[in-house]
């Protein structure tokens, strides 16, 4: 765990130091500490968080502090928060459904939140994350219940849940694409959000979703023991003093809070919640008292690393983090499905 925390610190520092435009490390440090070196900006850097730091604006003069402190620091903090949310949501979802393929993107939870947010923007004129987040929660909760019901409730198998989630995801993303193509104003607001992006991060966004993700993380950690008991079977869980119904309701609340807040802030980012719990289980075994804390630490490592990679590969522009995680996660998902143990589930 100590090594994981140290790795997270290194990746977070790299996220602040590296970007679509190269800024010398001494100037990055000066910007963070308020030193004299933060006054000049390399040619071509924009200080506008809404356009991306690689956008060329005029002669490129501006304020490095605006880029480092105004763009990269909020982006890094939001990546830490959203990564922890997605990692915990994936681990809780896999434990609740006993499905190693469960993940907010695969089971349609992100798609439900996305469809609700797009509807709010296009039909109700909601333009702020404060408004989006409630619709994201509603969409995430509705799809969670729908997938669980279509998958067979308690008799659900991993394959049935994955198929139900895939079908609902396809339908909802078809709806999302139709809405944004027919509504140009919605398209302008949604074009980066729908692929999953940290590019427009603001400190206001971080503070707005922090309470929801904080509560979700706390409840998730408290559910570690009850979920461990539930994994042994419902009768055994009751014999051990656990309450399966309350555990399931708490887990659904956790998934809704974490996925709804993360999707409202950054859009649907897939595969983070799938890959990290599998990696963690190979290190810790099946005990959720370890899986959940490790997932909360290592998922931001993956998310921020993908974000850094997207910024470096596409200079002077950037590749959205949702695209990078999808490119990484697709082959991992195929590998998991083809494993002999998965075929026997």
- Tens digit of each residue's pLDDT (9 = 90 or more) over 36-64: 554 444 443 443 344 456 543 333 334 78
| pLDDT of the residue at 52 | 59
How far apart, in whole angstroms, are the C-alpha atoms of residue 338 and residue 15? Answer: 34
- Rounded (10°) angle between helices 203-222 and 244-266: 160
| Phi, psi (degrees; rounded to nearest 5) at 261 | -65, -45
pLDDT band at 342 (very low <50, low <70, confident <90, very high): very low
- Rounded (10°) angle between helices 288-313 and 321-338: 130
267-282, pLDDT tens digit by residue?
A: 888 889 888 998 899 8
Residue carrying the six token digits 């950037």:
318
* Mean predicted confidence (pLDDT) in 210-218: 95
| pLDDT of the residue at 46 | 40
Instruction: Specify burial of residue 300 (Cβ count, 10 A radius: 0-12, 13-18, 19+).
Output: buried
Between the alpha carbon of residue 195 and those of residues 110, 120, 342, the distances in Å are: 11, 18, 29
Instruction: Specify burial of residue 17 (Cβ count, 10 A radius: 0-12, 13-18, 19+).
Output: middle
What is the pTM for the complete model shown?
Answer: 0.83
Radius of gyration of the chain (CA): 20
pLDDT band at 303 (very low <50, low <70, confident <90, very high): very high
| pLDDT of the residue at 239 | 83
Lowest mean pLDDT among 17-31, 157-171, 181-195: 181-195
130-181, pLDDT tens digit by residue?
A: 778 889 888 988 998 888 788 766 666 666 777 888 899 899 989 988 888 8
Is residue 11's pLDDT more than 90?
Answer: yes
Q: Do the beta carbons of residue 86 and residue 258 sit within 8 Å?
A: yes
**Residue percentage of the chain with pLDDT more than 70:** 85
Domain ranges across the chain: 75-337
Top pLDDT among 201 and 305 is at 305
| pLDDT of the residue at 164 | 84
Which homologous superfamily does the CATH classification assign to the domain defined by 75-337?
Answer: ABC transporter involved in vitamin B12 uptake, BtuC (1.10.3470.10)
Structure tokens at 221: 């950690």
| pLDDT of the residue at 121 | 84
3-state SS string for 127-162: CCHHHHHHHHHHHHHHHHHHHHHHCCHHHCCHHHHH
| pLDDT of the residue at 149 | 82
Top pLDDT among 158 and 330 is at 330
Closest by Cα among 63, 46, 59, 54 to 19? 54
- Rounded (10°) angle between helices 321-338 and 272-284: 50
Q: Do the beta carbons of residue 108 and residue 276 sit within 8 Å?
A: no
What is the DSSP secondary structure assignment for residue 71, as one 8-state letter? Answer: I
Lowest mean pLDDT among 95-99, 216-220, 228-232: 95-99
| pLDDT of the residue at 16 | 93
Top pLDDT among 113 and 58 is at 113
Q: Do the beta carbons of residue 180 and residue 188 sit within 8 Å?
A: no
- In the predicted model, what is the mean pLDDT of the chain? 82
Closest by Cα among 17, 25, 73, 69 to 47? 69
pLDDT band at 258 (very low <50, low <70, confident <90, very high): very high
* CA dihedral over 139, 212, 285, 154, signed as positive or negative: negative
């Amino acid at each position: 765990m100590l090594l994981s925390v140290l790795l997270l610190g290194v990746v977070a520092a790299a996220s602040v130091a590296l970007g679509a435009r190269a800024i010398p490390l001494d100037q990055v440090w000066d910007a963070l500490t308020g030193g004299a070196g933060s006054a000049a900006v390399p040619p071509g850097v924009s200080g506008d968080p809404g356009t991306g730091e690689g956008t060329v604006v005029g002669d490129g003069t501006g304020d490095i502090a605006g880029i480092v402190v105004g763009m990269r620091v909020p982006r890094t903090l939001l990546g830490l928060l959203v990564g922890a949310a997605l990692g915990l949501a994936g681990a809780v979802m896999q434990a609740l459904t006993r499905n190693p393929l469960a993940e907010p993107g695969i089971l349609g939870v992100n798609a439900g939140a996305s469809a609700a947010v797009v509807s709010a923007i296009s039909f109700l004129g909601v333009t702020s994350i404060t408004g989006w987040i409630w619709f994201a929660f509603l969409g995430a909760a509705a799809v969670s219940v729908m997938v669980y019901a279509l998958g067979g409730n308690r008799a659900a198998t991993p394959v049935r849940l994955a198929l139900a989630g895939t079908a609902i995801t396809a339908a909802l993303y078809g709806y999302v694409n139709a809405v944004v193509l027919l509504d140009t104003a919605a398209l302008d607001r949604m074009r980066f959000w729908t692929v999953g992006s940290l590019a427009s991060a603001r400190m206001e966004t971080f503070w707005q979703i922090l309470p929801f993700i904080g509560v979700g993380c706390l409840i998730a950690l408290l559910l570690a023991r009850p979920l461990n008991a539930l994994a042994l079977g419902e009768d055994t869980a009751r014999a051990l003093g656990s309450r399966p119904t309350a555990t399931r309701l708490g887990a659904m609340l956790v998934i809704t809070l974490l996925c709804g807040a993360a999707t409202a802030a950054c859009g649907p980012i897939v595969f983070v919640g799938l890959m990290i719990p599998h990696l963690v289980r190979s290190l810790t075994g099946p005990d959720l008292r370890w899986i959940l804390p490790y997932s909360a630490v290592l998922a931001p490592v993956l998310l921020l690393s993908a974000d850094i990679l997207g910024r470096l590969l596409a200079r002077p522009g950037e590749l959205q983090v949702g695209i990078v995680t999808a490119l990484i996660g697709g082959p991992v998902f195929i590998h998991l499905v083809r494993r002999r143990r998965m075929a026997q589930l």
